[in-house]
Amino acid sequence: MEIFDTLLFSLPIADVSSAFWDSTLPGKAIVILLFLGSAMAWTIMYTKGVQLRYGSRMTAEFLESFRSQRNPTALFAELDDYAGTPLSTIYKAGSVALGAELHAYGIDPNELLSEDMPSEAHRRLTLNQLETLRAVVDRHVADEALNLEDQMGMLATAVSAAPFLGLLGTVWGVMDAFSGMAESGSAALSAVAPGISGALLTTIVGLIVALPSMIGYNLLSSQIRRISVQMDNFAQEFISKIQNSYVIEG
C-alpha cells in the first residue's frame, strides 16, 4: 500500500493541470482539439474492433457451412444466420444472379436451394454467363472491401495529424514564452518556465493521442486484410463450384 500511495502521489497530475492553465490560448485550443480527436479515435477503434471480431467469427462459421454443402447455393435460405459476415452479401448477390440466369431457361430459382447436387437439367449456363456472374461477385467483393475500410481514414488522420498538432502548439507556445521574456526584459528561467511547460504539454498530448491510434490502426488493418483475403478466396471458390455444377461442359 505504501508503494502504491507513493506512486499515486508521484504522478504529475498537478503539473499537467498547471501546464495546461499556463499555456497560451492557442495551446489550450490545440489540447482540447487533441482530446476530441482522441475520443473520436477510441470510438472508432472500439466500434470497428467489435465489428471485425464478430465478422471474423461469422466468416469462419459461414465458410465451414458453405464447404460442407454439396450444392453451392444451398445456404441461401439460411443467410440470416450469417448476417455479420461480408461473405453473406457476396453469396446472396451471386446466388440471385445465378437464379436470374437460370430462370431465363425456365428453371425455378427455388430449385437451387436444395442440399443435393444440381441435376444435369440445371446445366444451362455458358462461359459468357459465368463471366457475368463472376463480375457480379467481384463487384460485391470490392464493395464489401470498401465497407471494411470505412472510418479507417479518420483513424489514420489521427495517427498522422496528432503529433504535428502537438508540435505546432509547442513551437507556438515557446515562441510566445520568449516574446514575453523579451517584453519583460527578464532573462530569468522562472519567467519563461511556465510558458515553456505549457507549450511542451501539447506535444505530450499529441503523442498520447497518436500512439494508441497507431497501434489500433495496425491491428484493425491486419484484421481487415485477413477478411479481404477470405472474401477473394471465397469468391473464387464460389464461382468454381457454380462452374462445376451449372455450366455446360464442352
In order along its 250 residues, the chain shows pLDDT tens digits of 455 455 444 445 446 666 666 666 777 888 889 889 999 999 999 999 999 999 999 999 999 999 988 888 888 888 888 888 999 999 999 999 998 888 887 777 776 666 566 666 677 788 888 899 999 999 999 999 999 999 999 999 999 999 998 888 888 877 777 776 666 665 555 555 666 777 788 888 889 899 999 999 999 999 999 999 999 999 999 999 998 888 887 5
Structural domain of 190: 15-246
Contact 82, 58 (CB under 8 A): yes
Residue 221 placed within a domain = yes
Closest CA to 85 of 141, 161, 153, 17: 141
Residue 185 placed within a domain = yes
pLDDT at 183: 65
The dihedral built from the CA positions of residue 165, 212, 57 and 230, taken in this order, carries a sign that is positive
How far, rounded to the nearest angstrom, does the alpha carbon of residue 154 sit from its chain's CA centroid? 10
Residue 71 placed within a domain = yes
CA angle (152, 156, 161) in 5-degree steps: 150
Residue 7 placed within a domain = no
Report the distance separating Cα 104 and Cα 53, nearest Å.
Answer: 40
First-last CA distance in the chain: 81
pLDDT at 18: 63
pLDDT at 100: 87
pLDDT at 181: 67
pLDDT at 115: 58
Residue 1 placed within a domain = no
Instruction: Report the number of distinct structural domains present in the chain.
Output: 1
Residue corresponding to grid cell 448477390: 93
Residue 22 placed within a domain = yes
Q: Find residue 125's DSSP bridge partners.
A: 247
Contact 219, 159 (CB under 8 A): no
Report the distance separating Cα 144 and Cα 82, nearest Å.
Answer: 15
Residue 9 placed within a domain = no
Residue 126 placed within a domain = yes
